[in-house]
Amino acid sequence: MKTRYYYFNKGKYGEETQELETLQENQFLVKTLSSLVSVGTETNANTGKLSWNVGNHGYSNVGEIVELGTKVEGFQLGDRVYSQQYHTDYFIASDEIWPPCFKIPKGVSSNDATYVTLATVALRVIQRAEITIGRTVIIAGQGTVGQILQQLAQVNGAAKVIVVDLDEEKLQLSKKLGADVAIQPDDEKLKEALADINEDAAPPIFIDVSGSSKAVSWMLEQAPMKSRLVIGGGYTEKMDLDLNMVMSKEIDIIPAHQPKCPDEHQMYHPYSRRDNIKYILNLLNTKKISVELLHDSVITPDGLIPFYDAAGKKRANQPIINWQEEK
């Protein structure tokens, strides 16, 4: 059986097919139902801006088990599963093959489940930020990760969530998803939003997931004494850090890089990637976070290369690929 996949290679990209290996008794075959395009990562990979420049596109796959080896345990034919598999028609999985598969609860739609990977990026930021009950949180960047992040901040006990973005449409969406304040980057507006914080209260936590060094610099300028600045996501540019400002305000700068979260439990790491995936699936299933409003558009696999070709023009923020029907 042949299956498609989409590659990037030192500034070039395209579609290829490969032959699947024979299914072993401890393996199962998954037919992809939906996958999510990670726009920033995939378009940067196509232009060679990532630190790695060769690989396959995609890491948010939802599929259905259509064939089962005789010694597979814990899975059944027809189970819907989430994995960090790339964009492809079919793939072979097992507990011994990375990425692992996770059963999707009945209350989570296949399209919603494709957001799990980006939600774990946001969850890693939350864990590194150490948000406690009653804390004020300011989040710069309201793309997909930022929209999920602001909901997770509330689940984690934040008393007030202030979101910042240049795009007014994104800010309106943030309000629909529960943000207390949604503003464009403006010194006075942020000062007004922070005016109700008691002088004796813990300083606010600033989080940047915009991918912009300018946003990081702006947040450093706005941060009061003893603040915490958490930087999540990916950055393709360098920045000049005002160390005098950092030192004089004693600001804690904390990176939050999801790939550094270990796959399994480790002695000095309280979180693992497996656990975080399960946490997100549970939060979606119990409706404590929602991604339905983030469904921007749906394309077929045949539309993926044209989507890449249009990079740099106005396009959907986070399209879902529907593998169940072609144009």
Model pLDDT, residue 100 = 93
- How many other β-carbons are positioned within 10 Å of the β-carbon of residue 326? 9
Residue 218 · residue 185 · CB < 8 Å: yes
pLDDT of res. 327: 43
**What pLDDT is stored for residue 320 in this prediction?**
96
* Domains with residue ranges and CATH for the chain: 2-115+291-322 (3.90.180.10), 118-260 (3.40.50.720)
Angle at alpha carbon of residue 162, lines to 143 and 212, rounded to 5°: 45
The Cα 115–Cα 99 span in angstroms is: 16
The alpha carbon of 278 is separated from its chain's Cα centroid by a whole number of angstroms, namely 15
Q: Which residues of the chain have pLDDT under 50?
A: 327
> Which residue is listed with tokens 């941060």?
223
261-271 pLDDT per residue, tens: 888 877 778 88
Instruction: Please state, in angstroms and rounded to a whole number, the distance separating the CA atoms of residues 193 and 14.
Output: 47
Q: pTM of the predicted model, to two decimals?
A: 0.92
Q: List, for residues 51-108, the tens digit of each pLDDT value.
A: 788 999 999 999 999 999 999 999 999 999 999 999 999 999 998 888 899 999 999 9
Q: Distance (Å, rounded) from C-alpha 142 to C-alpha 162?
A: 11
pLDDT at 44: 87
Picking from 80, 207, 233, the residue whose alpha carbon sits closest to that of residue 131 is 207
Helix (H, G, I), strand (E, B) or coil at 208: strand
pLDDT given at position 127: 94
Q: Which of 52, 58, 53, 54 is nearest to 38 (CA)?
A: 58
The Cβ of residue 26 has, within 10 Å, a number of other Cβ atoms equal to 14
Burial of residue 233 (CB within 10 Å: 0-12, 13-18, 19+) is buried
